[in-house]
Amino acid sequence: MASFDFSGMTPKSGHSLHVLMICRVSSPGPGKQDIRSLDDQENMLRAWIKERYTGPTDVRVIRGTGSGERLNRKELFDASDAVENGDFDLVLCEDLGRIMRRMEATTFCEAAEDSSTRVIAVNDGVDTADDHWRMNAIFASMRHEMYNGDTSKRIRRSHRNRFMQGGVVGTVIYGYIKPPGSKTDDELQKDSSAEAIYDEWFTRLENGQSFSRIADWLNESGVPPGPYSRTQRWTHDMVGRISRNPILKGVRERNRRVSKRINKTGERKSVKAPPEELLQRECPHLAFIDAERFDRVSAMLEERNACYSRVRNGQRDVRAGISKKKTRFPGQCVYCGICGEMYVFGASGERPCLLCRGALHHTCWNGISVDAKLAVERICDAVFEAIENLADFDAVFIEHVQQEYAKLYGNVEGEIRNCEAALAEIERGLANVTRLVRDGIDSTTLREELAKLERDKVAYTRQLTTLRQRRKYQFKLPTVENLKEMAIVSFRDLARDSYDFGDKMRALVPRIVVFPYRLCDGGKPVLKARFVLRLASLCEDHYVGKLVDETLNVELEVDLFDPPQREQIRRAIAVGGFDGMKQREIGEQLGVSQAAVSEALLLQRRMDESGLAEAYQPLDEPPTDQAKLRRHKHKNYKFKRRPDAGEL
């Protein structure tokens, strides 16, 4: 057992003992842990250190809420940074579980030991000043993990048993009434007015209507969503969930899904539970739909929507367990130039396509999809061509960059002298305050001044270390050939449909904005992509990359479509020197019909009459003659535009 001996402990500053206290509760709120426990922990720790250390102390308290299993809590990052920077002499907590659970708590203690910071967990008997602290910390972490697991199993056992007895009644959907104070499903009641609604609901499903159409019908009929709904309007997702809920046939279910811990972050995600975990309880008095009819409609819906599933013909889900942020290029970087929303995978069609999220939610009229395969080819070709054609840096530019570097980072020696002078002044102040304390003069103001001087000393010491490291740096501007070589090396062994390729491309092209265009004589709307190629991301040196960032930016525009025949012929005629030739002769040379040549010349005439240099013109509003761009006609349509819409 740790002795918690402070007799030989000397503060790093030579004056006050800097103490970091960590307090945490898991889930504050009604029926959960009391938030006042944070105050109780802090008061206990303050009294504990006061009894054992008689010198002056400077205490900082990090208070947080959330599961100790989570490793991505902000307060945990703050504590880790403070420990790694060596700002404190002592980290004090009630037990290691207040910092974090699992074996990562031992890793935290080891990081503190590396920075000469002592860690004490009072109730666990862990003190890194003790030679055997690792064994104590490991057993304490194991004990907390076992207690956590045992508690979870007890709660799960109780909930399973109570559910089979009719308990564990949470929120109810539309059509059900939960009287105040009711605890079991025997006390739930059906709303008689919902009988006809659900009958018509399932009739519409049997007739092939979609969830969206049923949602529109419910909204038009003034049917309110359930009493616990977060929105006051029906949506297709809400209709789909309720249509599949077996409570409508009088069967309550539990454990369709379970939570699974993500060991990397400690967070939990919902996953499908094994079939043996499913619990069902018959509640005939809650049935709105006959069981045979419900099962028949459910099978029909599953068959009808099977084409939209990622799991087909018994194959595994290729996206199972993969973060939505982890996607192939150009996913997660294409934005709509009309509303500013991101383009997401999911547009209908045989090839993988992206569609504006605003169009999916009826907040944008731009329903033009992006062919992902074609977009990758066009954008990558434009990027690599721009890199290949990058001109050498001229002498004026090199001199300009060197001058900018000198302004920002060149006066390192002067900054070091200023920092050393400030530290010397702080040392004199500390010596004066210490002398007053030794002479018996003590006050709150004096202690505050002492704490301020010690904080300033830590800040200036850290700044001085950074400046001395920068003094060793030798500025060198990479040549254009170096940048080209780095680009080749970065992408040489990567397939264009790999995740690594997508990550590297998003570093070069972090934001792609697509705008709708249309030929001046009509036709199908198409998309053009605009983006800024940030070549500075290829620089391995942070300082150089920061200086040349804007200079090396190249703005590009790429067509994400294949132009129709009349536009291709028009371009060929414009550069082909066919003056004085007849249409039939031009067609024979280009290998097309006379009618195609005539259409191309009509397009050119339309451009000349309108004074246009380009055949494709931007669309600022939806055309009236396109059947696929009619989202603005939908009853639920409400245009929303993000403030950064259209920005590169």
Residue-wise pLDDT tens digits, 38-54: 889 999 999 999 888 88
- Mean local confidence (pLDDT), 395-417: 67
Residue 531's pLDDT is 94
Q: Please list, in sequence order, all residues whose beta carbon lies within 8 angstroms of the beta carbon of residue 218, skipping any fewer than 6 positions away.
A: 197, 201, 234, 239
Give the lowest-confidence range in 21-25, 261-265, 334-338, 390-394. Answer: 390-394
Sign of the CA dihedral running 333, 337, 342, 343: negative
User: Measuring CA to CA, which residue among 635, 389, 398, 378 is closest to residue 531?
Assistant: 378
Q: Quick one: pLDDT at residue 551? A: 65
Using the predicted structure, report yes or no on whether residue 93 has a pLDDT greater than 70.
yes
Cβ 260 vs Cβ 271: under 8 Å: yes
In tens, the pLDDT along 554-587 reads 899 999 999 999 988 888 888 777 777 888 888 8
What is the pLDDT, as a whole number, of residue 468?
Answer: 78
Q: Which amino acid type is present at position 610? A: S
Amino acid at the residue 326: K
CA angle at residue 634 from 628 to 639, to 5 degrees? 95
CA atoms within 13 A on the CB side of 79: 29
Confidence band, pLDDT 50/70/90 cuts, at residue 431: confident
Highest-confidence range of 261-265, 457-461, 595-599, by mean pLDDT?
A: 595-599
Q: What pLDDT, on the 0 to 100 scale, is given for residue 69?
A: 87
**Nearest alpha carbon to residue 516 among 507, 506, 527, 524:** 527
Q: Is the dihedral of CA 42, 48, 51, 52 positive or negative?
A: negative
**In the chain, helix, strand, coil percent, each to 5?**
45, 15, 40
Residue ranges of alpha helices (H) inside 509-628 are 542-548, 565-576, 583-590, 594-610
Lowest mean pLDDT among 316-320, 359-363, 602-606: 316-320
Query: In 39-170, where do the E strands start and end?
Result: 57-65, 90-93, 118-121, 126-127
With a CB cutoff of 8 Å and minimum separation 6, the contacts of 61 are 20, 21, 22, 23, 42
Output the pLDDT for position 244.
94
* E runs forming strands in 506-586: 512-519, 526-534, 553-559
Residue 33, burial from CB neighbour count under 10 angstroms (0-12, 13-18, 19+)? middle
Report the C-alpha dihedral over residues 401, 402, 406, 407, rounded to 10 degrees. -30
In this structure, of 41-55, 79-93, 266-280, 426-440, the range with the lowest mean pLDDT score is: 426-440
Beta strands in 26-75 (DSSP E): 57-65
Which neighbouring-strand residues pair with 555? Answer: 532
What single DSSP character describes residue 521? Answer: T
Predicted confidence (pLDDT) at residue 474 exceeds the cutoff of 90: no
Highest mean pLDDT among 66-70, 466-470, 537-541: 66-70
- Which of 165, 168, 124 minimizes the C-alpha distance to 147? 124
pTM, entire model: 0.65
Answer whether 90's CB lies under 8 Å from 57's CB: no
Mean pLDDT of the chain: 85
Rounded-to-integer distance, Cα 4 and Cα 126, Å: 9
410: DSSP letter: I
* pLDDT at 121 (0 to 100): 93
Q: What is the CA radius of gyration of the chain?
A: 34
Inter-CA distances, 6 with 49, 88, 90, 411, 635, Å: 10, 15, 11, 45, 73
pLDDT above 70 coverage of the chain, percent: 89
